[in-house]
A = this chain, B = another copy of it.
Amino acid sequence: MNYFSSDFKLGILGGGQLGKMLLADTRKFDIQTYVLDPSEEAPSRMGCNKFYQGDLMDYDTVYEFGKKTDVLTFEIELVNLEALEQLEQEGTKVYPSPKTLRNIQNKGRQKDFYKTHNIPTAPFQRFQTLEDLKTNLENNSLSLPFVWKSAEFGYDGNGVKIVRSVSDLANLPNVECIAEEMIPFKNELAVIVVRNPKGEIKTYPVVEMEFHPEANQVEYVICPARIDDKVAAKAREIALKVSEAFEHVGLLAVEMFQTENDEILVNEVAPRPHNSGHYSIEASYTSQFENHLRAILDLPLGNTESKVAGIMVNLVGEEGHSGQVVYKNIEEILAIDGVTPHIYGKRETRPFRKMGHVTIVNEDIAKARKTAEEVKKLIRVISNS
């Protein structure tokens, strides 16, 4: 297949920042792209060959868009699965496959999948509704505390709640859900796996999420994770097993817990480029975006190892600020060696909206970590009004 400066067309469902960063690589290789997104201000509206505005959950919209393309991928999981299945049946290559996506979209089903495939994960119970869960709690067939997770449509901490007492259930929606045992853990880790249709497979190094000591929010994604080599090797091995079990094609971000006993438990996966891999643009031999592209086009995979250590800081809208965005002190952080801001291209900021990220690279991870702290203290995403 001739992808380069040819008539071949790659379709991308979703035009957010992940799509935008993927487009940097389709431009580098001069591969034609069509993008579908509901917003006319989508970050990917530029840099693609054709931009279509439309609903990603609508069967006809996704089906008709897909029919124009040769290979179809997505940068967001919330897309119409039935349309993808129909397109696949009719010969469009859809990567990751709708089958994989179906196993991932529903968290209950995802957890069952881990159990079936002997992939270590925290013990859990599935419930069709919140009412079912409450009945089981009353029966003592479920015990407090636990982590409640909505089975579908959760993202970025939405649809997740720690339940310590019955009153914590008060405002939860009456939807399909799981209750997961609370596991004390030392570290939250992630491993990105890339696999192509031929079955060639590689993992990126293990990254570590460092949390703010008080706010309980991820502050830094650090590559490589500052953990024991044996634990790192185990994490990469489990991630490989997850990708192979799913017969996944493209990128799979595997989020994990390192328990107090150095066990590795799979938390959840994302079948696409992932926030935990953004560092790779500057730090890796091949970025996660380029490798996703290589994988879904069945090209040889690129080297996943790092040139230098990398740390990523998210740029999210500050509380109390809504409106036309201003990146305060961005000139100050640009003056620091090894600092690269990525601005996603959203004109309006809102509290906690993901507006960009900053990568810090250095040969010495301790120096990078120190710089990351400087960056975090300086940069502010505010509005000019």
B-contacting residues of A (Cβ < 8 Å)?
2, 4-5, 20, 23-24, 27-30, 46-49, 285-286, 290, 294, 299-300, 302-303, 307-308, 325-327, 330-331, 334-335, 337-338, 340-347, 361, 363, 384
Contact = CB atoms under 8 A, between A and B. Distances in A.
Nearest to A349: B5
The 3 residue pairs across chains A and B that have the minimum distance between CB atoms: A300-B335, A30-B345, A30-B343
Contacts of A334: 294, 299-300, 302
Contact of A344 (B2, B30, B345): B30
Nearest to A347: B5
A327 B341 CA distance: 33
18 contacts: A2-B326, A4-B341, A5-B345, A5-B347, A24-B24, A28-B340, A29-B341, A46-B46, A46-B47, A46-B48, A46-B49, A47-B47, A285-B361, A286-B340, A300-B331, A300-B335, A302-B337, A303-B338
Nearest to A362: B285
Contacts of A285: 337-338, 361
A27 B5 contact: no
Contacts of A299: 331, 334
B307 A343 contact: no
A325 B5 contact: yes
